Amino acid sequence: MSSLSARILDVFNEPGCAKNADKSEADRKKGCTKQPKPGSAAGGCAFDGAKIALQPFTDVAHLVHGPIACEGNSWDNRGAASSGASIWRTGFTTDMNETDIVFGGEKRLYKAIREILAKYDPAAIFVYQTCIPAMIGDDINAVCKAASRKFGKPVIPVNSPGFVGSKNLGNKLAGQALLDHVIGTEEPDYTTPCDINLIGEYNLSGELWQVKPLLDELGIRILSCISGDGKYREVASSHRARAAMLVCSKSMINVARKMQERYAIPFFEGSFYGIQDSSDALRNIARVLVARGAPEDLIGRTEVVIAREEARAWAKIGSYRPRLAGKRALLITGGVKSWSVLAALQEAGLELVGTSVKKSTKEDKERIKQRMGQDAHMIDDMAPRDIYKMLKGAKADIMLSGGKSQFVALKAAMPWLDINQERSHAYMGYLGIVNLVAEIDKALFNPMWEQLRRPAPWDGIAKHGHPNPMVLAQTDGQAAEPPALLEVSRRAKRVCLCNTVDRGTIEDAIRLHGLTSVDSVRLHTNAFGGCCRSRIQDILRAMSGSQPPAMQQAAE
């Protein structure tokens, strides 16, 4: 493990990391390593981080050396998309057993590599080290080197056993594997003055394809994307790019910095989330490329494309902004999305009540302050019970987060939208902001939420199963309806017949949002029909209490 320990220290001794740069020389040599604690890998171990960072390379076979559970738990857990080969979605594992633990698993690994090459003939094989083979001393570097020499195909060792640290460490170890064994090993068929690398971009839900047409229009070629929809040969020849854009600095800063040192490829950090950030990213790409020898008219052509796309995007989200104005959002994600998605939400007219910075860098936090002010509510680590209280107390109208937090929002009966890697919608670029705003609107104004917040019919029933209080009144010799059932029947009466909106939905919206006019009620419900105006007016008068009907009509 000495070589792995040295590798980890080297990965964390990162001059490009602001946090590391602020340390003393002695502390910097120690790196950022901490003794792992039980449960510290709950958000993903180092193996998981390496796998999700490299698996979007689509023409590569990803072989997990370890028990089958490691592959089963990590398979297809990132919603990346491919425009070509699909072998990356096939799960390969050596499925180590007790015998392999006693006698070693190197022979099993070699046989697995041989079988994959014979049956699938991938461009390369990435071999991932997991905890058990690392602890028993399997030398995957030697096996991969021997297999590559024997079969004439690249076999890349990725030394990232889960016990060495968190998912973020695994991201960096994956990047280091590319630097050590892949980048610079092949040459592209040709180069252009406008070749760029995208680093830390994973093409979630195919969102890279919403930006690529704009780059193609400008004559900018993505020489390599690391790793969304990436190909092995592209990353192997990525050292010939003229510039690079770093999308997620938390995971791949070591790749961008070392490529700058080794191959003189300048890089900048940018984002394609939101209108302004997308425009800034395109401008920076053009600026850096022109400085490296691209045609000078690239900057002017970029401004023309930006003006056109901004006008289209603002026109499309314009109809949503009045509906979203004043709505409050809680952003629980971290990393680059803590500020990039924040900008997109502000452009949609939403108010941010807080954003998570658990995985954010110092630069990320500075960008948040620029967008939200110096008093920005940045959340380091909010417990689920605190998120629940915040949502239940109506301090936020919607939460955007990863899938593991969705049940907190659902328990609080508040709208939730997936913004992390499991999402099924693309939110990047000018088209992406329109998609994001549309999905937020659907979530906020889904009539399900009003129905979900109503008291259940059995809330008025005592534990022993009888009406509570007991119904004693008699009508025509028969027992009267229980009060709870009468209330359900009253609230179920239709107000808007054409859109089937009932009285309970209208009343709940009025109470929840303090509505005072017919138009505001229609904005918060699906009661848009011409049949319901007078009925909504009657409900508003009935609920206004002390306000005379004449004043209510004047207010409307």
CATH value at residue 86: 3.40.50.1980
The predicted-structure confidence for 333-374, as pLDDT tens digits, reads as follows 766 667 778 878 888 888 888 887 776 667 777 777 777 776
Question: Could you tell me which residue, 74 or 440, shows the higher pLDDT?
Answer: 440
Asked whether residue 342 falls in the same domain as residue 264, the answer is no
Q: Please determine, for residue 422, whether its predicted confidence score (pLDDT) is greater than 90.
A: no
CATH for 388: 3.40.50.12380
Q: Is position 13 within any domain?
A: no
pLDDT the model gives residue 390: 81
pTM for the full model? 0.76
Average pLDDT over residues 252-256: 91
Is the same domain home to 166 and 82?
Answer: yes
How many C-beta neighbours within 10 Å does residue 111 have?
Answer: 12
- Is the pLDDT score of 473 beyond 60? no
Q: Which residues pair with 288 in a beta bridge?
A: none
Domain contains 37: no
- Are 162 and 47 within 8 A, CB to CB? yes
What is the C-alpha separation between 531 and 13, in angstroms, rounded? 68
Last residue of a domain, one of 254, 287, 317: 317
What's the rounded Cα separation, in Å, for the pair 8 and 32?
Answer: 9
In this prediction, residues 108-124 reach a mean pLDDT of 97
**Residue 341: is it exposed, middle or buried by C-beta count within 10 angstroms (0-12/13-18/19+)?**
buried
Q: Are residues 307 and 337 in the same domain?
A: no
The answer to whether position 419 is within a domain reads yes
Q: Are 4 and 139 in contact (CB under 8 A)?
A: no
**Is residue 348, in this structure, part of any structural domain at all?**
yes
Q: Is 29 within the bounds of a domain?
A: no
In a 13 Å sphere around the CA of 454, the CA atoms on its Cβ side amount to 22
Q: Does some domain include residue 452?
A: no
pLDDT value at 311 more than 80: yes
Confidence of residue 477 (pLDDT cuts 50, 70, 90): very low
Q: What CA–CA distances, in Å, run from 160 to 105, 165, 199, 380, 444?
A: 17, 9, 20, 26, 41
Q: Is residue 35 domain-resident?
A: no
Asked if 509 contacts 450 with a C-beta cutoff of 8 angstroms, the reply is yes
Q: Which residues pair with 475 in a beta bridge?
A: 478
Asked if 76 and 92 sit in the same domain, the reply is: yes
**Given pLDDT bands bounded at 50, 70 and 90, which one contains residue 469?**
very low
What are the C-alpha distances in Å from 277 to residues 319, 339, 352, 364, 430?
A: 21, 10, 17, 14, 10
Phi and psi based region of residue 237 (left: phi greater than 0; alpha: psi -120 to 50; beta: remaining):
alpha
DSSP state of 481: P
Residues in the chain: 556
Would you state the pLDDT for residue 288? 97
Domain final residue pick, 431, 446, 461: 446
Per-residue model confidence as pLDDT tens digits over 520-555:
888 888 887 666 788 888 888 888 764 444 334 333
Looking at residue 126, its amino acid is F
Is the pLDDT at 216 greater than 90? The verdict is yes
Q: At what angle do helices 140-151 and 106-120 cross, to 10 degrees?
A: 40
In 3-99, DSSP assigns E strands to 60-65, 92-93
Q: Is the pLDDT of residue 449 over 70?
A: yes
Query: How far apart are alpha carbons 476 and 490 in whole angstroms?
Result: 21
Give the number of other Cβ atoms within 10 Å of residue 227's Cβ: 29
Number of domains in the chain: 4
Average pLDDT over residues 313-338: 85
- 166 and 60, same structural domain? yes
Two tokens, residue 79:
């919603």
Considering the domain architecture, whether residues 401 and 271 belong to the same structural domain is answered as no
Instruction: Please tell me which residue, 552 or 4, carries the higher pLDDT value.
Output: 4
Do both 347 and 301 map to the same domain? no
**Tokens describing residue 180:** 């050590």
Paired strand residues for 418: 401
The helix/strand/coil state of 525 is coil
For the segment 463-474, the average pLDDT, to the nearest whole number, is 43
Give the position of tokens 């939110």. 427
57 and 173 both lie in a single domain: yes
Domain of 372 in residue numbering reads as: 323-446
Q: Among 124-133, 397-406, 482-491, 510-519, which stretch is predicted with the lowest mean pLDDT?
A: 482-491
Write out pLDDT tens, residues 127-169.
Answer: 999 999 999 999 999 999 999 999 999 999 999 999 888 888 8
Min mean pLDDT across 59-73, 157-171, 252-266, 479-493 is at 479-493
The answer as to whether 276 is a domain residue is yes
Statement to judge: residues 206 and 228 lie in one domain: yes
Q: What is the pLDDT of residue 536?
A: 85
Q: What's residue 480's pLDDT? A: 47
Q: How far apart are CA 312 and CA 327, in angstroms?
A: 24
Residue 73 shares a structural domain with residue 159: yes
Where a domain ends, among 317, 344, 363? 317
- Lowest-pLDDT range, 299-303, 352-356, 510-514? 352-356
pLDDT given at position 392 = 79
Q: Among candidates 146, 200, 192, 153, which has minimal Cα distance to 175? A: 200
Residues 299 and 411 in one domain: no
Residue written as tokens 């001059």?
15
Same domain, 157 and 272: no
Tokens of residue 159, six digits: 């030394």
For the ranges 80-84, 188-192, 437-441, the lowest mean pLDDT is seen at 80-84
pLDDT band at 464 (very low <50, low <70, confident <90, very high): very low
- What stretch of H or E contains 479? strand 478-479
Residue 534: predicted pLDDT = 80
Cβ pair 50, 174 in contact under 8 A: yes
